[in-house]
Amino acid sequence: MTAPGGLVGLVGLVGAVAQVVLVAVGSPLLAGLMRQVRARLEGRAGAGVGQAWRDLRKLSRKQAITPHGTGWVFRMAPLVLAGTALVVAAVMPLVTTRSPFDGVADLFAVAALLALGSVALALGGLDTGTAFGGMGASREVTVLALVEPTILLSVFALSVRAGSTNLGVIVTSALRNPLSVISPVSLLAAVALVVVTMAETGRIPVDNPSTHLELTMIHEAMILEYAGPDLALIEWASAMRLSVLLGLLGSLFVPWGIATAGAGPGSVALAMGLLVVKVAVLGTVLAAAEVFMAKLRLFRIPELLAGSFMLALLAVAASCFLT
């Protein structure tokens, strides 16, 4: 169904708002779903899909504690992490490619926003002055330095055929030429993005979100000093970052169903349902894969990320030769 010209802007605004609401509300449910999948595959009953929301509610009711000697960096880190995740959810083409923020949905801007959230959390960990905070921040920045170039190169390989680094234009190009999704370029870029998604969100084999062993933890080491509402905000923001990255994978490589220019309200509603299905399926597959994988040793992680970088570089080279 095609919307009248006067409704295009309104439909795009509704789609952008729907993206933010779905990511904000559904991210804890995604985290709960992944925990439940892992529990079932490991022979446990599990706490249920809604347990993540119950944990956030419990943390938000506790008293906020600020360690002695910390400053505004420690207090602002959770807000910056959550704020950047919400902005990325608003500008990324998850439900529609015609949102009012489409002009700023550039590959480099989105990657910079994700990096800003990670850097803010690393600075918050350093601000505590503890050994664990400094150790986690150091490891996080090391991973970040290897992850961000891979994200840029992977999506840039897809942008060559679209002629633009705007994510909305890339998704629209894939919708107009579905066969381009089934190509060596897409395969190489998809594998590279999957690896960096696991690294960026602290999943196995790069990190284990359910452990607090000082020899292995990266993300958890930075947030050991946070408590109460601040910790709830960090956990919520981390779940949102996982949702938007899985949503990005779905939009780039399974773009069908996303509302494009001239789409009506019905198309936006359909795109919302399909987004939930795509992210849920990708989250389930990721959680199931974690059961059968072991966490890598810390000094082997750069090798894995370097391998994903090479795949992204090959994707760029292939896109230049095949386009």
Which residue ranges make up each domain of the chain? 5-322
Q: How far apart are the first and last CA of the chain?
A: 32
Distance CA 194, CA 173 (A): 21
Which letter does DSSP use for residue 64 in this model? P
CA quadruple 56, 58, 60, 64: dihedral, nearest 10: -120
Q: Please, are residues 64 and 78 in contact by the beta-carbon 8 Å criterion?
A: no
Provide the token pair at 60: 């938000």
Q: pLDDT at position 7, please?
A: 53
Residues 126 and 133: beta-carbon distance below 8 Å: yes
Average pLDDT over the chain reads 90
Residue 59 CA, chain-centre distance (Å), reads 23
Please give the C-alpha separations between residue 153 and each of 69, 108, 166, 205, in angstroms, as whole numbers: 40, 10, 14, 22
Question: Residues with Cβ < 8 Å from 292, sequence gap 6 or more?
Answer: none
Q: Among all chains, which residue has been given the structure tokens 């938007």? A: 244
Structure confidence by residue, pLDDT tens digits, 100-130 = 887 778 999 999 999 999 999 999 999 999 8
Q: Which of 32, 49, 37 is nearest to 285 (CA)?
A: 37
**pLDDT average, residue stretch 292-312:** 92
Q: Judge whether residue 260 has pLDDT over 90.
A: no
| Secondary structure (DSSP) of 300-312 | GHHHHHHHHHHHH
- What does the pLDDT average to over 152-156? 95
CA neighbor of 77 nearest in space, from 125, 109, 143, 142: 125
CA atoms of 250 and 277, how far apart (whole Å): 10
What pLDDT, on the 0 to 100 scale, is given for residue 37? 96
Show Cβ contacts of residue 68 under 8 Å, excluding neighbours closer than 6 positions: none
DSSP code, position 166? B
pLDDT at 216: 67
Q: How does residue 2 score in pLDDT terms, banded at 50, 70 and 90? A: very low
Q: Which DSSP letter does residue 295 get?
A: P
State the sign of the Cα–Cα–Cα–Cα dihedral 241, 243, 150, 192. Answer: positive
Q: Do 87 and 113 contact (CB within 8 A), yes or no? A: yes
pTM of the model: 0.93
